[in-house]
Structure 1
Amino acid sequence: MKRRDLLKAAVTLPLLPLLMRSGTALAHGGSALATTVRSRLRPGQPGWPAAAEWERLKRQVGGRLLKLEPPFAQGDASQALKQLGNPFAVGDNPALTQTSGWADAWTSQPSAWAVAAESAADVAAAVDFARRHHLRLVVKGGGHSYQGTSDAPDSLLVWTRHMNRIELHDAFVPQGCAGQVAPQAAVSVQAGAMWIDAYDAVTTRGGRYVQGGGCTTVGVAGLVQSGGFGSFSKNWGTAASNLLEAEVVTADGQVRIANACTDPELFWGLKGGGGGSLGVVTRLTLRTFELPEFFGAVNLTIKADSDAAWRALIAEAVAFYRRALFNPHWGEQMKFYGGDTLDIAMSVQGLTRQQAEQTWAPFLDWVRARKDCHVTKPFQALLAPARHLWDADFLRKYAPGAIVSDDRPGAPRHHMLWAGDHDQVGWFIHGYQSAWLPASLLQPGRQAQLVEALFTASQHWGFALHFNKGLAGAPADAIARARDTATHPQVLEAFALLICANGGAPAYPGMPGAQPDLAKARHEATAIDQAMDAIRAVAPGAGSYVSESDYFLRDWQQGFWGGNYPRLAAAKRKYDPEGLFFVHHGVGSEDWSADGFTRLRT
């Protein structure tokens, strides 16, 4: 503990009995309690729960209270090391997170205790315990937070991994909405489920589509609360915009059903307001859609011979996107790296293979006609029946190199991730930034500015345009649903999210052989800064996607939520007046120290 924090705690601790009595009187008094409770407790401090109190909590949650230890602090770390190549194994360890840290920002350190929740009642017991004892509370489902919000030392973890039941509905009506909302097909997913679990139930076995994330091991609940983009968001919108209802435990320990008819402000805040700030989501119900006939991908890599050729290639890629791809059929990425290479890895839905090939023919003709641009990975358009996109058995037979399976004995057969996501397992981030790019930059009069910015940025560091993470060009109904969420309004007018990032090998504290090269990390972070400076010159005031953004973002309230932040802050004051729920750069976190233990202002 830092000396400053220790002094603050020393001043506050003698007052704790009085504050706890005041808390009882003020429990229903809005934000009054927020003016009294100043510090959360750490192990060893006076007031930290005694062994008997932890034992009572353990009985209350059916024995599912775990004492966590750093996974590499054991005498034999071989088992933990074996897990690091398998994100499913990493997720099954409550002491690990899917990201091992961020240079000069945070490192993955387990909570002191964890409730391995199996029900909303378990979650409510943990929330009550943390509130009564003034503990730092953390929530983890998938554990994918780049910002380090999936764990914290000296905290109590609500671990929802085992809450993974899924139920399909033919005609779902949110609670309290009978007669106000038409029944619709939907799926209810518990908070610990991953997107591969949802896709297996809804698409592979159910023959329908649910808008989720691209990485299959990401948790459903975390993605929805952050907004939630997947490969086909250009057609079906964000995951948050398709939320129909949520079961959530709020800071008062109440299990609430939030939808457009009951607790509408809480419901709105959960749709893109960021995870871990307003409550612990225990179940979500999302609308589902009819499947198109085909899902697929287009891949192509082109290398330019000179700066002039590279600038021309960028210009043609931008113009071609505007002419042919700026519509609901196309998503995913064009990657610009090395100062001379364009790597295309785009998703497609609602077209046949022949239609996809016809769409790309003019661009390929342009490339072939130039002597200074060369195809280094041939064009491929791969499409398959939509029902098989996440069908692990189908993929093992027809595209085994595209996936990595959970190879542990007894693992569910449908548990697989895309091979392209495998290098993120346990990665240590050097730098990560994003920016929504407005569709106005695609207009003929502004394309030259955009091209020059992309060219200049690429001289500093590589980046990718994620077209599915901007809703400009999407159908009107998808945009309307997204408008009724807390996600930054800029997403409605963005044609893409530009992401510029890099990281290194896993570097968990105490991990044998883990030596992150901080000098290299800082050098790369500086290069990323320089690349993003070029982008922001043509997109001033561009916001960021909360799940994929800069840990060090200064004006994060505006950057993540824009004009929606005051409304989110009001919901925070209503449902969590004491600030029990804290995450880095989450709603209300400006009231607390960086570690979430000391209140800075009231």
Structure 2
Amino acid sequence: MNRREVLKAALAIPFLSGVMSGGLTSALAAVGGPVSGAPRSRVRPGEPGWPSAAQWGQLKQDVGGRLLKLESPFANCTATSTTAACREALKHLKNPFYIGDQPALTQTSGWVDAWTSQPSAYAVAAESTADVVAAVNFARRHHLRLVVKGGGHSYQGTSDAPDSLLVWTRHMNAVTLHDAFVAQGCAGTQPPQPAVSLQSGAMWIDAYDAVTTHGGRYVQGGGCTTVGVAGLIQSGGFGSFSKNYGTAAAGLLEAEIVTADGIARIANACTNPDLFWGIKGGGGGSLGVVTRITLRTRELPEYFGGVFGAIKASSDEAYRALIAQAIRFYHSDLFNPHWGEQMAFDPENVLRISMVFQGLDEQQAQAAWAPFVDWVRARKEYVFVQPLKAGAVPARHFWDAEFFRQHAPGAIVDDDRDGAPRNHMLWSGDHGQVGWFLHGFKSAWMPASLLREDRQSALVDAVFACSRHKHLEFHFNKGLAGATKETIDAARDTATNPQVLDAFALALVAGYSGPAYPGMPGPGPDLAEARGDATNIGRAMDALLKVAPDAGTYVSESDYFQRDWQTAFWGANYPRLAAVKRKYDPDGLFFVHHGVGSEAWSADGFTRLR
């Protein structure tokens, strides 16, 4: 979430200068209704029906030996004695590439009073669709809790569960470029177009390295380079330049997905179109195991770039005026497809700016910000605690790790393991997320109507009130208002909450502390402090929502305890998603916390409620 440092070091580069009547109730009834022959509960280790050693052995044979019995590397750590596995894990605790390579770990270590990172009992380290099919069939036949993990970035804890079988797709990471892709069954109805196919275990840095650094084109993906490609697509997916290129899900041309019956299906606009629509933003892990995605690619602009700075106000009154000016300026000068990423509002009366741009050069970006900079400098009650600077890089180098190592090493963090792929890097501004223990996380789509002159004052009051409790961020790239009609129309044909179409930003309020995997040496997280922080997060968001009381929320960046999650995540799209779930997974094999159809199961996913 904190991408404030992205590209900041690059400035030194020489050449840079309310849903529907009855619809939701009907949907819940359809998903939660009794299913003939469906299991009432799933089986745990030691219970009758848990697979025998011989049955696990047969699965291992079926998947070419790639069945793993899991244990956390911290399982045998103590304050006075650590194993080699524990020492290795502690050494690489802030390396997201290492964590992603551990099937027993997740990128988030837990959430206070919600969940902690606990490994599955077994994992199939899938290397092919056939491996995934074998795992799905085994879980269905033996009534096992099934979990799917690619990147493992879920804040909600959906990529692990104790006593479960994990389908781990990390090793399915091939990337294939296409000059003229046509989706299966769409010949004659769709023109060939440039595209990229990615297996579901690939990370976005793998996609950007192939498509942009080496291919000279653009694919809409995620901002954090270590996020898994399939999980982002299924969540909707926003990148830094979404106001121009749309959501990642809207760029999906085709997917291969293994459904609950063990069939590997092709899903696109012409083949299984209902399933295709559900994959595009319906949430990861609810409809099946995605094994491959194909996304459209675009022409690159000449430059990508960023503008970074921070301004402190001398008083609360001055800070309120600064917030007002920032919102006016955003509306008049930045509310367009060129600009994305963040403005943040701190309790210390600091406005932090970490914006990115596309389709402009450095001089054009500086000119765009000149009126705002002049306004600040003309008033003695403000000081730039970080000078506002703009910089641009040739777009082809935006995810080029070697380029940044040479010109701006402070902007990135490398995979520090021996023999690590040279293209693997993380933005330094995302480093704090690695292994974090969440205290709370809330988001809300802010309607563009709040930018009208007659509403701006109320918005300013709400932002100021929110910032008295916690740091608040507006992620402008995660709202599509201000985008082109083509971009908005494409996003409209996805399962994502339609509120995103008329939102100027996604507002985020969160809190966290350092890694707290169970079994780690040390005192563990301060739970009292975490709960107090969670209370402040709630107060902050409540203050903001006074001007947007019906705001929806982004499924991947949302409150674990969200009460109205069906409406908040998907709005009027939920009944349609529920119908897709009922068709392709009538017995509820695929379960994730607050996923489509999860209201039919207990919170741990083991007991059917209705």
TM-score (norm 1): 0.94
Q: Which amino acid is 1:144 matched to? A: H
Once the two structures are TM-superposed, the CA of residue 33 in structure 1 deviates from its matched residue by 3.7
Q: Which residue, 158, 178, 203 being the options, matches 2:212?
A: 203
Q: Which residue, 63, 67, 70 being the options, matches 1:68?
A: 70
Q: Which amino acid is 1:57 matched to? A: L
Provide the C-alpha distance between the structure 2 equivalents of 1:312 and 1:338, rounded to a whole number of angstroms.
Answer: 15
Provide the C-alpha distance between the structure 1 equivalents of 2:194 and 2:319, rounded to a whole number of angstroms.
Answer: 47
Question: Are residue 286 (structure 1) and residue 295 (structure 2) matched?
Answer: yes
Q: Which amino acid is 2:452 matched to? A: Q
Provide the C-alpha distance between the structure 2 equivalents of 1:102 and 1:392, rounded to a whole number of angstroms.
Answer: 32
Answer whether contact 2:443 2:508 (CA < 8 A) is retained: yes
Q: Kindly provide the CA deviation profile for residues 351-381 of structure 1, in whole angstroms up to 9, marking residues without a partner as x.
A: 0100000000000000001111110101110
Q: Kindly provide the CA deviation profile for residues 178-197 of structure 1, in whole angstroms up to 9, marking residues without a partner as x.
A: 00111111000000000000
Corresponding position of 1:218: 227
Once the two structures are TM-superposed, the CA of residue 36 in structure 1 deviates from its matched residue by 4.1
Answer whether contact 1:291 1:387 (CA < 8 A) is retained: yes
Corresponding position of 1:239: 248
Once the two structures are TM-superposed, the CA of residue 513 in structure 1 deviates from its matched residue by 1.0
Answer whether contact 1:310 1:339 (CA < 8 A) is retained: no
Q: Which residue, 132, 155, 166 being the options, matches 1:146?
A: 155
Q: Which residue, 151, 163, 172 being the options, matches 1:163?
A: 172
Question: Are residue 377 (structure 1) and residue 379 (structure 2) matched?
Answer: no
Answer whether contact 2:151 2:226 (CA < 8 A) is retained: yes
Answer whether contact 1:297 1:383 (CA < 8 A) is retained: yes
Q: Kindly provide the CA deviation profile for residues 386-407 of structure 1, in whole angstroms up to 9, marking residues without a partner as x.
A: 0000000000000100000011
Provide the C-alpha distance between the structure 1 equivalents of 2:91 and 2:598, rounded to a whole number of angstroms.
Answer: 36
Answer whether contact 1:307 1:340 (CA < 8 A) is retained: yes
Q: Which residue, 587, 595, 600 being the options, matches 2:604?
A: 595
Provide the C-alpha distance between the structure 2 equivalents of 1:308 and 1:533, rounded to a whole number of angstroms.
Answer: 22
Once the two structures are TM-superposed, the CA of residue 34 in structure 1 deviates from its matched residue by 5.4
Q: Kindly provide the CA deviation profile for residues 7-33 of structure 1, in whole angstroms up to 9, marking residues without a partner as x.
A: xxxxxxxxxxxxxxxxxxxxxxx9864
Q: Which residue, 283, 301, 304 being the options, matches 1:274?
A: 283
Corresponding position of 2:475: 466
Percent identity, aligned pairs only, is 72
Corresponding position of 1:313: 322
Provide the C-alpha distance between the structure 2 equivalents of 1:35 and 1:522, rounded to a whole number of angstroms.
Answer: 43
Answer whether contact 2:219 2:296 (CA < 8 A) is retained: yes
Task: Compare 586-595 and 509-518 and name the one that shifted more.
Answer: 509-518
Once the two structures are TM-superposed, the CA of residue 219 in structure 1 deviates from its matched residue by 0.3
Provide the C-alpha distance between the structure 1 equivalents of 2:522 and 2:514, rounded to a whole number of angstroms.
Answer: 11
Task: Compare 444-453 and 512-521 and name the one that shifted more.
Answer: 512-521
Provide the C-alpha distance between the structure 1 equivalents of 2:157 and 2:196, rounded to a whole number of angstroms.
Answer: 29
Question: Are residue 565 (structure 1) and residue 591 (structure 2) matched?
Answer: no
Q: Which amino acid is 1:47 matched to? A: G
Provide the C-alpha distance between the structure 1 equivalents of 2:91 and 2:99, rounded to a whole number of angstroms.
Answer: 10
Provide the C-alpha distance between the structure 2 equivalents of 1:35 and 1:433, rounded to a whole number of angstroms.
Answer: 39
Once the two structures are TM-superposed, the CA of residue 338 in structure 1 deviates from its matched residue by 2.1
Q: Which amino acid is 1:157 matched to? A: L
Provide the C-alpha distance between the structure 1 equivalents of 2:274 and 2:523, rounded to a whole number of angstroms.
Answer: 45
Once the two structures are TM-superposed, the CA of residue 535 in structure 1 deviates from its matched residue by 1.2
TM-score (norm 2): 0.93
Q: Kindly provide the CA deviation profile for residues 54-83 of structure 1, in whole angstroms up to 9, marking residues without a partner as x.
A: 000001000000000122113511112112
Provide the C-alpha distance between the structure 2 equivalents of 1:171 and 1:263, rounded to a whole number of angstroms.
Answer: 22
1:69-148 counterparts in 2 under 5 A?
A: 69-74=71-76, 76=83, 77-148=86-157
Provide the C-alpha distance between the structure 1 equivalents of 2:98 and 2:135, rounded to a whole number of angstroms.
Answer: 24
Provide the C-alpha distance between the structure 2 equivalents of 1:32 and 1:348, rounded to a whole number of angstroms.
Answer: 51
Task: Compare 531-540 and 129-138 and name the one that shifted more.
Answer: 531-540
Corresponding position of 2:353: 344
Once the two structures are TM-superposed, the CA of residue 37 in structure 1 deviates from its matched residue by 1.3
Provide the C-alpha distance between the structure 2 equivalents of 1:474 and 1:330, rounded to a whole number of angstroms.
Answer: 10
Corresponding position of 2:79: none
* Secondary structure of 1:445's aligned partner: helix
Once the two structures are TM-superposed, the CA of residue 425 in structure 1 deviates from its matched residue by 0.5
Provide the C-alpha distance between the structure 2 equivalents of 1:387 and 1:339, rounded to a whole number of angstroms.
Answer: 38
Corresponding position of 2:29: none
Answer whether contact 1:543 1:562 (CA < 8 A) is retained: yes
Q: Kindly provide the CA deviation profile for residues 231-272 of structure 1, in whole angstroms up to 9, marking residues without a partner as x.
A: 000100000000000000000000000001010010000000
Answer whether contact 2:38 2:587 (CA < 8 A) is retained: no
Provide the C-alpha distance between the structure 2 equivalents of 1:72 and 1:376, rounded to a whole number of angstroms.
Answer: 41
Question: Are residue 529 (structure 1) and residue 538 (structure 2) matched?
Answer: yes
* Secondary structure of 2:345's aligned partner: strand
Question: Are residue 582 (structure 1) and residue 591 (structure 2) matched?
Answer: yes
Provide the C-alpha distance between the structure 2 equivalents of 1:249 and 1:577, rounded to a whole number of angstroms.
Answer: 14
Once the two structures are TM-superposed, the CA of residue 515 in structure 1 deviates from its matched residue by 1.2
* Unaligned segments of structure 1, at least 5 residues: 1-29
* Unaligned segments of structure 2, at least 5 residues: 1-31, 77-81
* Secondary structure of 2:546's aligned partner: helix
Provide the C-alpha distance between the structure 1 equivalents of 2:436 and 2:37, rounded to a whole number of angstroms.
Answer: 40
Q: Which residue, 428, 446, 452 being the options, matches 1:443?
A: 452
Provide the C-alpha distance between the structure 1 equivalents of 2:441 and 2:45, rounded to a whole number of angstroms.
Answer: 33
Corresponding position of 1:416: 425
Corresponding position of 1:475: 484
After superposition, the CA RMSD in angstroms is 1.0
Q: Kindly provide the CA deviation profile for residues 87-124 of structure 1, in whole angstroms up to 9, marking residues without a partner as x.
A: 00000000000000000000000000000000111000
Corresponding position of 1:56: 58
What is the number of equivalent residue pairs in this alignment?
572
Task: Compare 158-167 and 64-73 and name the one that shifted more.
Answer: 64-73
Provide the C-alpha distance between the structure 1 equivalents of 2:222 and 2:34, rounded to a whole number of angstroms.
Answer: 39
Q: Which residue, 346, 366, 390 being the options, matches 2:399?
A: 390
Once the two structures are TM-superposed, the CA of residue 414 in structure 1 deviates from its matched residue by 0.2
Once the two structures are TM-superposed, the CA of residue 514 in structure 1 deviates from its matched residue by 4.6
Provide the C-alpha distance between the structure 2 equivalents of 1:544 and 1:85, rounded to a whole number of angstroms.
Answer: 28
Answer whether contact 1:353 1:382 (CA < 8 A) is retained: yes
* Secondary structure of 1:435's aligned partner: strand
Q: Kindly provide the CA deviation profile for residues 425-481 of structure 1, in whole angstroms up to 9, marking residues without a partner as x.
A: 100000100000000000001000000000111011111000000000011111110
* Secondary structure of 1:95's aligned partner: coil
Answer whether contact 1:61 1:115 (CA < 8 A) is retained: yes
Task: Compare 435-444 and 68-77 and name the one that shifted more.
Answer: 68-77
Provide the C-alpha distance between the structure 2 equivalents of 1:84 and 1:408, rounded to a whole number of angstroms.
Answer: 12
Q: Which residue, 253, 262, 277 being the options, matches 2:271?
A: 262
1:483-502 counterparts in 2 under 5 A?
A: 483-502=492-511
- Which one scores higher on RCO, CA 8 angstroms, separation ≥ 6? 2
Once the two structures are TM-superposed, the CA of residue 600 in structure 1 deviates from its matched residue by 0.6
* Secondary structure of 2:453's aligned partner: coil
Provide the C-alpha distance between the structure 1 equivalents of 2:484 and 2:58, rounded to a whole number of angstroms.
Answer: 53
Provide the C-alpha distance between the structure 1 equivalents of 2:37 and 2:501, rounded to a whole number of angstroms.
Answer: 38
Answer whether contact 2:339 2:477 (CA < 8 A) is retained: yes
CA distance change for structure 1 residues 303 and 518 in 2, over 3 Å: closer, same or farther? same
CA distance change for structure 1 residues 240 and 424 in 2, over 3 Å: closer, same or farther? same
